[in-house]
A = this chain, B = another copy of it.
Amino acid sequence: MTPQSNEKRPLAALLVPDLLELLEEAPESLGPQTEEMHPADLADVAEALPEASVRAFFAALGKERAAEVLEYLDEDLRTQFLEELTAREAASIVAEMNPDERADALEELDEETADEILSELEPAEKAETERLLAYEPDTAGGLMTTEFVSVNEDLDVEAALSSVRAMARAGRREAMYAIYTTDILGRVRGVLSLNELLAAPEGARIADLAWSEVVTVSPNTLQEEVSQLISNYDLVTLPVVDEDRRLLGVVTVDDVIDVIQEEGTEDAQKFGGMEALEEPYMQIGLWQNVRKRGGWLAVLAVGEMLTASAMANYEGEIAGVPMLAQFIPLVMSSGGNSGSQATSLIIRAMALGEVRLGDWWRIVLRELPAGFILGLLLGTLSVARIMAWQAMGLYDYGQYSTRIAIAVGISLVGIVTFGSITGSMLPFVLRRLGFDPASASAPFVATLVDVSAIMIYFSMAYLMLSGRLLN
């Protein structure tokens, strides 16, 4: 990421005063005046309005347009808006939404309100929405829309094209780019793009034009796999099929982009050592902010208290050579830093499918020499620092300054190597145990490595100084 030039457009802020006047004086002119605006921009406008005017704004837009704008609206505001309406009013608006967006909107409401709205929908819409609501939100079924284009494979080009045109005229807005061909039982047999259909010679049979190798998923496929498939195969839509390969719906690329961004955010927050937030940072309250962070902080602090117990064993060394304490932060943080580097590399490689569980030993073979060389680098630096301070008279480490320097240097080699291996293996261990490897946060790794770093450091100091400064 490089510095960004796009500060959020101030469009919404500028419009608000004019808009409030318009809503007051001539609400009927809102629709015509905004008809060329993208619903995402109108959603920004709605979010900038005072709460009391939101309802009037959507009423003035009209149901169909309101439904479009709701798809882009902040989830909390959408939930609040829908809950303020009567079930009948809400139903008349959500009925205009795409089926997948409608299910998402109802998912956010409390169950009773959602049920009331559902019961006001047309039976077919109600059944379709209930079917979508039954899938877990983080699966292909939870992401898919049931609006897709399929034609019988026995049609010819012109017949297929007019069937597609009829569907387009019936108001299909989404997922028109891929056309799935099905047999008489509705099973997916092939796929072709709308432009391949347009390019096809008249009279050709669709079955002969379509690609027979169709990448499909089941409704229970996890969203991570869905996004990897769409990304690997450069798909615009991915079909979701049942056990008999009958088409249930399609996942569209725009929903997958949202998934990829959400996961990036979740992974970043977890790696920072906290639970993932459910909402954007600026929208969470103090309590959620504290709760999502406090759990891990407390667990890590308790873990870090082990270092106090570990150090209690070295009290003699510290009392004898207090200056040893000066290098505790250096050896600890070097272990933690090398560990968090290794962890971030592996978590990301796992998220992108570059590294599998069985690859753990390959990683060890890579991290062992890398950690050793990095340790040598830091060890050399530290020896140089201590010797330089001693030589320049900036600090007096006493007659055994060289031995102290060597103790710090050698322990750094061990600690950085150990940190790199621990950091790279932690995501494997977590995943093997069925946890999310992204829970291997930088603070988690650092805490794991800290206790060992203290032990390595003081053992080395004992070795170098016993019988001299220490007894």
A interface residues with partner B (beta carbon < 8 Å)? 1-8, 36-38, 40, 138, 161, 164-165, 168-169, 172-173, 176-177, 193-196, 198-199, 211-213, 215, 221-222, 224-225, 228, 230-236, 253-254, 256-258, 260-261, 263-269, 271-274, 277, 280-282, 286, 289-290, 293-294, 296-298, 300-302, 304-305, 307-309, 311-312, 315, 318-319, 322-323, 325-330, 332-334, 336-338, 340-357, 359, 362, 366, 369-370, 373-374, 377-378, 381-382, 385, 395, 416, 431, 434-438, 441-443, 446-447, 450, 454
Residues from chain B with Cβ under 8 Å of A377 in the complex: 294, 297-298
Q: A-side binding surface: helix, strand, loop or mixed?
A: helix
Of B232, B340, B356, B434, the residue contacting A443 (CB under 8 A) is B340
Nearest Cβ in chain B — how far from A278, in angstroms? Answer: 13
**Bound-complex Cα distance A343 to B359 (A):** 31
Given contacts A165-B198, A261-B260, A337-B443, contact A312 B395 (CB under 8 A): yes
With A328-B329, A336-B446, A442-B442 known, 19 other A-B pairs at CB within 8 A are A2-B224, A38-B215, A38-B233, A164-B198, A165-B198, A173-B195, A231-B254, A235-B254, A268-B271, A269-B348, A271-B272, A272-B342, A286-B373, A289-B370, A297-B338, A305-B330, A312-B323, A337-B443, A337-B446
Given contacts A1-B263, A340-B273, contact A329 B450 (CB under 8 A): yes
- Per assembly, the copies of the chain total 2
A258 touches B280 (CB 8 A): no
Residues from chain B with Cβ under 8 Å of A304 in the complex: 329-330, 333-334
Q: Smallest CB-CB separation from A408: which chain B residue?
A: B308
A322 touches B318 (CB 8 A): yes
Residues from chain B with Cβ under 8 Å of A336 in the complex: 333, 336, 443, 446
A326 touches B311 (CB 8 A): yes
B5 touches A352 (CB 8 A): no
**Bound-complex Cα distance A261 to B256 (A):** 12
**Bound-complex Cα distance A37 to B286 (A):** 53
Of B296, B333, B354, the residue contacting A450 (CB under 8 A) is B333
Nearest Cβ in chain B — how far from A403, in angstroms? Answer: 17
B315 touches A282 (CB 8 A): no
B176 touches A272 (CB 8 A): no
The residue among A273, A309, A450 with the most chain B CB atoms within 10 A of its own CB is: A273
Residues from chain B with Cβ under 8 Å of A4 in the complex: 222, 224-225, 350, 353
Of B345, B351, B374, the residue contacting A294 (CB under 8 A) is B374
Q: List 29 A-B contacts (CB under 8 A).
A: A3-B431, A3-B436, A5-B221, A6-B228, A6-B353, A40-B232, A164-B195, A231-B261, A236-B253, A260-B261, A264-B351, A267-B268, A268-B347, A271-B272, A271-B344, A282-B354, A297-B341, A300-B337, A301-B334, A308-B327, A308-B329, A322-B322, A325-B328, A333-B450, A337-B443, A337-B447, A340-B441, A340-B442, A442-B443
